[in-house]
A and B are shown apart, each in its own frame.
Chain A
Amino acid sequence: MSQENMSNDNVESPTEDPTDDDMLLETDVTSGLEEGTQGSRTTHERTIVEAKDVNVWYNQDQALRDITMQVPENKVTAMIGPSGCGKSTFLRCINRMNDMIDAARVEGELYLGEKNVYDDDVDPVALRRRVGMVFQKPNPFPKSIYDNVAYGLNIQDIGGDHDAIVEESLKRAALWDEVKDQLDESGLDLSGGQQQRLCIARAIAPDPEVILMDEPASALDPVATSKIEDLIDELAEDYTVIIVTHNMQQAARISDKTAVFLTGGELVEFGDTKKIFENPDNERVEDYITGKFG
């Protein structure tokens, strides 16, 4: 299957209803492939992130080519591929973190809900307040655990009971029991796995719509990794999670959808995880997954 097949043939016209405050695009992302193989899952999924012909250059070097894909809401979408194929670059397109890189240039359309985030009137800072991000290396601030989690609440001027929100976020990040007696201590005193869960708590505290994770477990030991994986599974009940990983088993374990990028910045195949790992259409994907290269 070539990627043209995956371009969205059946997008319904965006709901113009102003009361739809979620601003989500109701679409049927079940293209041919899924209809054929996974009948049970061809229910109408809501697309929350949609890329249309996204191209990215770093100076003269093209890092992403014509990426077109639709990320369903409240699902875990994994992006796999050999290193340097542009997974992180794509992730950074979604919350426009690429704007920080002087050399980067993005073309194409990328919708969050029904809004193209590359429209001129989009404030990237406001956008990032609706998209949480977790990085490869745990990066808590040198502040107390409490202040780390409350960071988003403070800078985004979110009112309400901060204590309650902090507690709730830490519980969701499966960290509360370990740190509830040391909220005043520095986030840097935690172990690597705890730090990463703290970062996840920090990301979900302001209640974003989408959470981006860039190889969140690659710096962690197996035990910490499996904790993070369990956590991602639970998060998908309330959030849309887009996770980059170069660990294929991990992608297979935790994701509902998988996007395979290959060298040169192409999105070679995108579909249900099960299908990708059991019966990929593309030969190069098959080679990659069976470990022939990459």
Chain B
Amino acid sequence: MATEDRRSYADGFGQVSRTVGIIFRYLLLAATLFGIAVLAILLVYVANDAIQPLTADAGWHLTFFLTLVLPSLATGGYLAWSNVDGLKLGAMTLGLFVVGLLFSGGVAIIFLEVLPPLVWFAYVIAFAVPVAVTVGLQQRSRQIPFVSRFALATLAFYLSLFGFPGIVGSYAELPQLIPSVATLILFAPIVPLDWIQLTLTVGVFAATPVALYASAISDRRTGLIAGAAALATVAASAVVGPAVVGVGPIPSVVLASVAVLPTAAYVCGTAVTREQARIGLVLPVVIVAGALAGEVLVDTLGYAGPQSWVDWQFLTSDHSGTAANAGLYPAIAGSILLMLTVAALSFPIGVGAALYLEEYAPDNRYTRFIDVNISNLAGVPSVVYGLLGLGLFVTRLGQSTGTILVGGATLALLILPIVIISSREAIRSVPSEMRQASYGMGATRWQTMKNVVLPRAFPGILTGTILALGRAIGETAPLIMIGAPNVLYSFPSELSSKVSAMPLQVYSWASYFATNDFYEKAVPAGVVVLVTVLLAMNSIAIVLRNRYQRET
């Protein structure tokens, strides 16, 4: 019997039909390609309208093709063939710099228009002093009981921010006896120049991670040197920027801190740690050099570039009745301010709720009821949230319509369920063995959360929040509902000033101002800026997520 069977295999094992599977596979491929193709066509179409590459001279195209496109493709192709790690490194460096540039634009707008550097400086110092006190207290945690430490720390914060008797006293109409640290600085007879203030704050914020990164790769001494060098770079930029490039000292400092330092640190760090991939740094050099060379050549040869609508004028001017003069500046700034408000409101509330629901809430009927409702809220149309914001903040709480505060709060409500859900996902993905290990060591729930769960879940939480913010930045309907102005001629500078946002501005150009010029040029230009900002935000989320996945 067995031998017979074996003999029959000699003719082969027969065939199993896979026809259906193959058809299915190609159908899926077709669906994927269709989706991607439609999206790509749409983007190209919009970008074409916005940037109008065909209006440039043929010579312009040829020059840039020769100096920029060809060398970049050649370098990229060579790297892809010989050293993929290097290609990734090069692309990453370039991406980091570009995203850094975009963000430094946003930060610079804030310091130029909304937040005077002195106010920022005063409050940073007023925060830094009590934080230092708290850290000092923490080191003596064994001598001083928790309650007194907590009281002392709270007192330090209060005194530093409000003075004595401070806001509590002003209700009782007591005179201010001791000024707060913040007021002391704000009304000091001599204060450092604004770029020095920024160097000491933003510059230090940027130099600290550089120092930590350097000391992680090498040792403490290198870290200190790197930090000092980073700070010196920032300070130097305030002098070099205006003199050489013609950028004011404030944007120069911001640019150095937000774009140049992180890129430089990344380049130096990887050049040391990843020797095989180091060659990839050629790619950004080729691209930047190519762009500069092309620019110079085009200038000297007198070729005209494309009449792009996304240009400096578009980015920096206010709205105007004529399309050619109209710009997106107030809307960009409005979007940034809205984002900051939304993040400030939704992050603590959302992460707090997620932590409570995951770590503390008992598993009972009420919790499950809340669970289901949070999921449902995530699917509620945004216009409903707009209505809610109008009813809650404007009608009930008596805020005026269309302010940054109301808009930010409404958008925060909109993304709150998403933040909660993604944060819970991140918290839940912390392996239970980690928690067990911590509890087994005699950690309390709070210690476990602080030392094990949160550090591990944080990148995931951040990723989810950034993606949710991306959703908020593109919303139009809730802003219309709460009465945000369609166009803004001037800059929003306080939480209570009216705000517009990029999608709203684009929408109004497409509806109320629908002349051909607006419709065909300004709208696509606005869309391109909006999408660029979105991509910049999402790219950070993606990088974070990739890092996170590699570590788990």
Contacts and interface: CB of A to CB of B under 8 A. Distances in A.
B363 A155 contact: no
Given A102-B363, A125-B442, A141-B452, A155 B437 contact: no
A125 B440 contact: no
Contacts of B451: 141, 151, 154-155
Interface in A266-280: none
A141 B438 CA distance: 9
Nearest to B431: A139
A25 B440 CA distance: 24
A275 B141 CA distance: 52
A206 B443 CA distance: 12
Interface in B424-459: 431, 433-434, 436-444, 447, 451-452, 455-456
Interface of B: 141-142, 363, 431, 433-434, 436-444, 447, 451-452, 455-456, 551
Contacts of A141: 434, 437-438, 451-452
A202 B436 CA distance: 13
B253 to A, nearest CB: 33
A100 interface: yes
B428 to A, nearest CB: 16
A191 interface: no
B442 A128 contact: yes
Interface in A102-148: 102, 125-130, 132-133, 135, 137, 139-142
B228 to A, nearest CB: 22
Contacts, number: 69
A203 B433 contact: no
Interface residues of A, number: 29
B343 to A, nearest CB: 26
Given A102-B363, A142-B456, A142-B551, A135 B433 contact: yes
A152 B141 contact: no
Contacts of A139: 431, 433-434, 436-437
B141 A135 contact: no
A159 interface: yes
A132 B439 CA distance: 10
Contact of B436 (A97, A126, A140, A159): A97
A133 B363 CA distance: 27
Contact of B437 (A126, A154, A199): A199
A226 interface: no
**Most chain A Cβ neighbours within 10 Å, of B441, B443, B451:** B441
Contacts of B436: 97, 100, 135, 139
Contacts of A203: 440-441
B443 A135 contact: no
B439 A97 contact: yes
Contacts of A155: 438, 441-444, 447, 451
A135 B439 contact: no
A156 B439 CA distance: 12
A47 interface: no
Contact of A159 (B142, B439, B444, B455): B142
Nearest to B456: A142
Contact of B442 (A137, A140, A152, A159): A152
A100 B431 CA distance: 15
A95 interface: yes
A29 B419 CA distance: 58
A135 B440 contact: yes
Interface string A208-231: 000000000000000000000000
A203 B437 CA distance: 9
Contact of A128 (B141, B440, B551): B440
